[in-house]
């Protein structure tokens, strides 16, 4: 297991048509929070040896639209640790943008990722479940 502060995790996922919830193949913002939950789970496993629990978000900002076919890179880091609580920050970036205006399978790899969502929150690993 690893040490706490500044521990990071990154995942990259393609948004599929089943992720699209609104017209224009727009993906629900809750999908970004789901990705952040997966990132938080990895961070807790690496720190505590247990998946822990997500207690709540302090802030969430949706900054740009996400559509089916986009690739999203979600990252998180542990900012601070208490006895059982872990403060975390998250960011989701679009790294590939679908281009349905050109064709159904067209996409652009973005030279500069677009930040689509930022959040911060607190996770908890119950003392009896920690293996560190």
Give the span between the Cα atoms of 126 and 132, in whole angstroms: 12
Where in the chain are the domains? 8-129
SS3 of 36, please? helix
49 neighbors 13 (Cβ within 8 angstroms): no
Fold entry, domain 8-129:
Thiol Ester Dehydrase; Chain A (3.10.129)
pLDDT tens digits for range 75-93: 999 999 999 999 999 999 9
SS3 of 103, please? coil
pLDDT tens digits for range 88-130: 999 999 999 999 999 989 999 999 999 999 999 999 998 888 8
pTM over 0.85: yes
């Amino acid at each position: 297991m690893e040490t706490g502060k500044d521990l990071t995790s990154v995942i990259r996922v393609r948004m599929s048509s089943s992720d699209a919830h609104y017209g224009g193949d727009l993906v629900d913002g809750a999908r970004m929070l789901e990705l952040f939950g997966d990132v938080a789970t990895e961070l807790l496993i690496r720190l505590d040896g247990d998946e822990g629990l997500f207690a709540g978000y302090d802030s969430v900002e949706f900054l740009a639209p996400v559509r089916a076919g986009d690739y999203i890179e979600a990252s998180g880091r542990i900012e601070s640790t208490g006895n059982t609580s872990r403060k975390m920050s998250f960011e989701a970036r679009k790294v590939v943008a679908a281009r349905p205006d050109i064709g159904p399978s067209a996409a652009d790899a973005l030279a500069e990722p677009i930040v689509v969502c930022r959040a911060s929150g607190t996770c908890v690993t119950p003392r009896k479940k920690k293996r560190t």
